[in-house]
Amino acid sequence: MIRRAALRALTAAAVTAFLALPLAQGTPATAATATAATTINADDDNPFRWMELDGLRADFQFMCPAGHCTGFWSLVLTDDVARQKFEGRKFFVYAPATGEFSFFLDTDIAVRTVDHPGQVRLVDTDFMRSHPRVEVRYGDPEHPDQARVVASATTLM
C-alpha cells in the first residue's frame, strides 16, 4: 500500500516536472498547429483504448515547449456530462475498490481536485491500469462515498 502510494506520488511529480519544464526554461508552451496533428497518427498510441469509458472520452493534445511538439493522451468529460450544472463542490478521481485517489492535470500542474468540468483531465495511466474501475466523482473528497459519480473508466480484462 505504501509502495503504491509512493509510486503514484512519483508519477504525479514526474508529470508535473515534464509539463513545467518549458515554463522553468522561460519558454511558454503553445498549442500545435493543425498541420502537426495530421503528421502523427494519435490513435495508434491511445493508452485508454482498452477501457470502457462512461462519461469520459480520450483526448489527444499537443504541447510545444521550446518549439518541440509533444503529444499526450488524457481522459476528459464528454460534452453532455460537462454541460451539466455543477456548483459548490469539487471533482476528484477515486478508485472505489481501494479507496485511493489520483490526480487531474490542470494546465501543467497535477492537482487532487478541480472546480469546473472543463478542468477534468486524467493522465495517470498507471493508476488507472492498477485499478479495475476509476471514477470521477463530484462532492466532498473527505466523504467520497457520499459524492456523485459523474464518469468512470473500467479496465477491460
Domain boundary assignment for the chain: 2-155
User: How far is residue 4's CA from residue 100's CA, in Å, rounded to a whole number?
Assistant: 10
Position 43 confidence tier, pLDDT thresholds 50, 70, 90: low
Going by C-alpha positions, the residue among 15, 21, 24, 25 that lies closest to residue 110 is: 15
Q: According to the model, what pLDDT value does residue 26 have?
A: 41
Cell of 100: 485511493
User: Residue-wise over 114-131: b if at least 16 C-beta within 10 A, else e?
Assistant: beebebbbbbbeebbebb
DSSP structural state of residue 59: E
Q: pLDDT band for position 105 (50/70/90)?
A: confident
Copy the grid coordinates of residue 139: 462532492
Q: Cβ(145)–Cβ(93) under 8 Å?
A: no
